[in-house]
A and B are shown apart, each in its own frame.
Chain A
Amino acid sequence: MAMKSPKENSEFAVQSFEFILFKVADFLFGAPAEQVSRIHSGEKFKREELGQTPVDLGKAFYVLKETAVARPCLLEVKTGTGMKFFEVDMVEGLTRLDLSQVRKLPPLIASLKANRSFWGLALIGNRIACLVDLETLEMGEK
């Protein structure tokens, strides 16, 4: 999984990219696979041992104001400042997307989006995934 995200890739000779697809509530998201170093799910991980509070992607994207229960999956992402953990509801898996499947955000969405880490859209069959950059994701943006 040594691919660069399309956003950062200056060598557009590479025409396809690997993404991790995951869901938060009913929303389908995609993040460059190279950003995710590990996926934790089920009861194999202990939150208290993470040493930090995971970022709830639902809250970051204003999907739900409150979540009664912690989301069951964690994405472990290595950033310039260390490890970050992101809570999601379900990980669908790894997928390879052609450049032709990726779209820039339409102007209205780009103008009003909740978080600047949301940078594009992917057309996957009849579904559309919101592409996010987990490395730069910050909470509380508007």
Chain B
Amino acid sequence: MKDKPTVLLVEDNPVSLKVIAATLAKQGVQVTAVVSGKEAIEAVKQNPYDLIFMDIELPGMNGMETTKTIRKWESCRSDPHTPLTIIAMTAHESEETGQACINAGMDAVETKPLRPEKLKEILENLFIKEPFENTSVSSHIISLLEKEKSSVEPEKGLESEVRHLMIFMLGKEKYALDMKYLKKVMWAKNITRVPGLPPHILGIINIRGEIISVVDMKMLLGLSYETAEKPSIMITSAHGIETGLLVDSVDAIIDLPSLSIDPPMITFEKEYLDLIDGAARMDETFLIVLNYENIVQSEMMDIHKK
């Protein structure tokens, strides 16, 4: 008898895979992760999973085709079994996509990014309301203790281990900043230059009568890329002070486990190391995660000290 529910996670994006796997593991399930439809089919044939989270946009055989193959295999099985629960994960929140997933044999469709609270809800609906059978008193007590522990601080632990980040581009490089500092994003226009400031302070903007300083992030980080055709300004705020950050483009919002952020690489110059929390591998590139608090308190900004 299994101690924990088993979940097969099928996701080709390494960052999403890490995030979802870490979140699922936190919920007390045993996770197996694969990155393609072919691997998923092999895994299902060899192991009795309780649940599958299936990304629909997989390379080669996509999530819908994979699900159809799994359902076909299930229908040919001679041994008694309960059909697998397959939940689609998609970035496209459309009725059409949802219906296509159901038609392919999936049981439910969830839109990415899958937030921890949503995953918890799915797992509770599937497993907690009908507790899995324990053959011994000790395993029952252990499960009760685990439940109690998770009810004491269910979200706090997750919050500290997963960072909600806004990804933005500076030249060809991907950077990220914690979402909690971001107020809004706007096109960069009508920036008034102010004389006598360091080159990384681009000037000021007037947002409905409120004057906000604008920092050129490329200059601040010593990057020599040319200015983008249509740059954006991210309006950030900390300790009551708002600052506009000029970036080439704003890309996406992601949840990233802190554990997947490695310390800053030694290739960064020493003066910029304090501004960087670390780097995470993402697709074919690296995502550089910035430390906003250190940026605003750096020598180059020095807002709060003075």
Residues of A within 8 A of B198 (CB): 112
Q: Which residues of B contact A123 (CB under 8 A)?
A: 206, 209, 211
Residue in A109, A110, A121 with the greatest tally of chain B CB atoms within 10 Å: A109
Q: Indicate if the CB atoms of B196 and A62 lie closer than 8 Å.
A: yes
Q: Tell whether B270 is near chain A: CB-to-CB under 8 Å.
A: no
* A-binding segment of B42-50, B95-103, B187-195: B187-195
The answer to whether B195 and A108 have CB atoms under 8 Å apart is no
Contact of B195 among A61, A105, A106, A111 (CB under 8 A): A61
Complex CA gap A113/B215 in Å reads 14
Contact of A130 among B190, B194, B213 (CB under 8 A): B194
Q: How far is the CB of B236 from chain A (nearest CB, A)?
A: 11
* Contact with B204, one of A24, A25, A128 (Cβ below 8 angstroms): A128
A121 to chain B, nearest CB (A): 6
What per-residue 1/0 map shows which CB atoms of B191-225 lie under 8 Å from chain A? 01111111001001010010111010000000000
Q: Which residue of B lies closest to A103 (CB)?
A: B211
Given known contacts A106-B211, A111-B302, A24 and B201 CB-to-CB distance under 8 angstroms: no
Interface bits B235-251 vs A (CB < 8 Å: 1, else 0): 00000011100000000
The answer to whether A63 touches B195 (Cβ under 8 A) is yes
Decide if B306 is an interface residue (CB 8 Å cutoff): yes
Q: Is the Cβ of A114 less than 8 Å from the Cβ of B241?
A: no
Q: Which residues of A contact B206 (CB under 8 A)?
A: 123, 128
The number of residues on chain B lying at the interface, defined by a beta carbon within 8 Å of a beta carbon of chain A, is: 23
- Chain B residue at minimum C-beta to C-beta distance from A100: B209
Q: A9 to B242, alpha carbons, bound, how many Å? A: 28
Beta-carbon contacts under 8 Å, B139-194 to A:
190, 192-194
Q: Which residue of B lies closest to A113 (CB)?
A: B196
Contact present for A108 and B301 (CB under 8 Å): yes
CA A24 – CA B243 in complex, angstroms? Answer: 26
- Chain A residues near B91 (CB-CB < 8 A): none
CB-CB contacts below 8 Å: A38-97 with B: 61-63
Interchain CA distance A25-B196 in the complex, whole Å = 12
In whole angstroms, what is the CA distance A93 to B151 when docked?
A: 69
Contacts of B201 in A (CB 8 A): 108-109, 112
The answer to whether B193 and A27 touch across the interface, beta carbons within 8 angstroms, is yes
CB distance from A55 to the nearest CB of B (A): 14
B→A interface (CB under 8 Å): 190, 192-198, 201, 204, 206, 209, 211-213, 215, 241-243, 301-303, 306
A interface residues, Cβ below 8 angstroms from B: 24-27, 61-63, 103, 105-115, 118, 121, 123, 126-128, 130
